[in-house]
Structure 1
């Protein structure tokens, strides 16, 4: 596994996230060589504060029920503010109800709105394997760049089995409940390309302690 720290997105997305919380995450990202994922309202400041850190942010977060127009506006705004990647919550309620065409069209339009990678958050814990396969196949047929397991704001998080399933279709960001290098390694081994975690610094410290790598 090459450049483990560079595949970790150190994350702060809580409802009470303040600028001080964001700077702590950015300082840790700089120190450990990680990426960072911050709320959209702080992207402009974050890119100025830590210009060497690849900043991701979220749109339609956390439930995906914004209008498509709103999401496209959000995507355009955060890209112009300096976001290197965008994590999108699509309208999973429509998808769960069988409205697959609007789900696909939403992903296509948002991906076409910005010239940076977009990750579709599929909230894997809310779906059975057959449903998840359908969502993954549709998402992978669009210009979306990654499939992401979860927001961390619903019950359940990343699992090895969900990462294995999603990795059959596209690149995967595993997120939700990842607090140790041991678990992160399981997810990488299962096919994850990225890890999103509020414990990114802990994961990298444990990785270096256990492997002796930098």
Structure 2
């Protein structure tokens, strides 16, 4: 059983134990920063390898890493070769905006799982939901729930809360509950805003399993967000990675830097 701890007293080790440390850049992202004569693909590869190197060298390793499907195999080999195979591998599907045919998402899922992913973060078809085509959004949830359950992997649905009205968040959380989805997740991190305490509470009220906060989580708001999804009023939290997860790409580094300059719990 995971420990119940005071949120105000959480350490970096505690936070890391519920983190999905994330790298989702593609080589295309490096075209605008590559200088003349530089290869954007080589820049991306060096950056991704740096991410993996830092991950396995963290004093307190994250619960999981989250990468794109095409990066899962390389990630798995890197973790094994660096005595870090205990780190779970998650992968994104239909990312970031889910403007894909469901068969493409199925193919991405199968690829990621075949290469070693045991958790799938898939994006809600929120455009259909917003456009009045709720049936399409619900059907994709049913397909992804059935597929991940068949494959024996955990599922996380990315709601993209900044694009949804509260009634939509409630509706999708209840649908995810019905279909056996393992986590509801706030955001991809690729839209206007990410996690916020109000919507996290709404998600918690309408979903009984895992909640994943993602998008803009930083040292200044992480405690507030954890309190929002703790389901408690005593300032404590159950540090169970099957109930609470943090999606982040820089939070652990920032907390480490904060600890170096301040005398704090982190």
Query: Normalised by the size of structure 2, how large is the TM-score?
Result: 0.73
What CA deviation, in whole Å up to 9, does each residue of 1:55-99 have, x standing for no partner?
111110111111111111111110111012111012111111232
From 102, 111, 121, give the equivalent of 2:158: 121
Looking at structure 1, the residues matched to 76 and 251 of structure 2 have their Cα atoms a distance apart, in angstroms, of 19
Q: Does 1:60 align with 2:99?
A: no
Gaps of 5+ in 2: 31-43, 231-243
Higher normalized contact order (CA 8 Å, seq sep 6+, divided by chain length): 2
Looking at structure 2, the residues matched to 207 and 78 of structure 1 have their Cα atoms a distance apart, in angstroms, of 36
Looking at structure 1, the residues matched to 248 and 121 of structure 2 have their Cα atoms a distance apart, in angstroms, of 13
Match of 1:195 in 2: 246
Of the structure 1 ranges 193-202 and 203-212, higher mean CA displacement relative to structure 2 is found in 203-212
Looking at structure 2, the residues matched to 210 and 14 of structure 1 have their Cα atoms a distance apart, in angstroms, of 32
Q: 1:6 to 1:19 in 2, by over 3 A?
A: farther
Match of 2:129 in 1: 95
What CA deviation, in whole Å up to 9, does each residue of 1:93-140 have, x standing for no partner?
111123222222211211222321111101001112122211222222
The alignment yields a C-alpha RMSD, in angstroms, of 2.1
Looking at structure 2, the residues matched to 100 and 126 of structure 1 have their Cα atoms a distance apart, in angstroms, of 14
Contact 2:124 2:160 in 1 (8 A): no
From 175, 178, 181, give the equivalent of 2:214: 175
Q: Does 1:39 align with 2:91?
A: no
Looking at structure 2, the residues matched to 90 and 149 of structure 1 have their Cα atoms a distance apart, in angstroms, of 11
Aligned residues between the structures = 211
Of the structure 1 ranges 42-51 and 92-101, higher mean CA displacement relative to structure 2 is found in 92-101
Looking at structure 1, the residues matched to 134 and 159 of structure 2 have their Cα atoms a distance apart, in angstroms, of 13
| Structure 1 stretches of 4+ moved >6 Å | none
Looking at structure 2, the residues matched to 28 and 55 of structure 1 have their Cα atoms a distance apart, in angstroms, of 16
Contact 1:65 1:90 in 2 (8 A): no
Contact 1:158 1:176 in 2 (8 A): yes
Looking at structure 2, the residues matched to 138 and 41 of structure 1 have their Cα atoms a distance apart, in angstroms, of 29
Contact 2:126 2:163 in 1 (8 A): no
Looking at structure 1, the residues matched to 102 and 140 of structure 2 have their Cα atoms a distance apart, in angstroms, of 7
Secondary structure of 1:166 counterpart? helix
Match of 2:79 in 1: 50
Q: Which has the larger radius of gyration?
A: 2
Looking at structure 2, the residues matched to 197 and 29 of structure 1 have their Cα atoms a distance apart, in angstroms, of 12
Query: Normalised by the size of structure 1, how large is the TM-score?
Result: 0.89
Looking at structure 2, the residues matched to 119 and 104 of structure 1 have their Cα atoms a distance apart, in angstroms, of 15
Q: Displacement, 1:207?
A: 7.1
Q: Displacement, 1:179?
A: 2.5
Secondary structure of 1:191 counterpart? helix
Match of 2:48 in 1: 22
Q: Displacement, 1:28?
A: 3.0
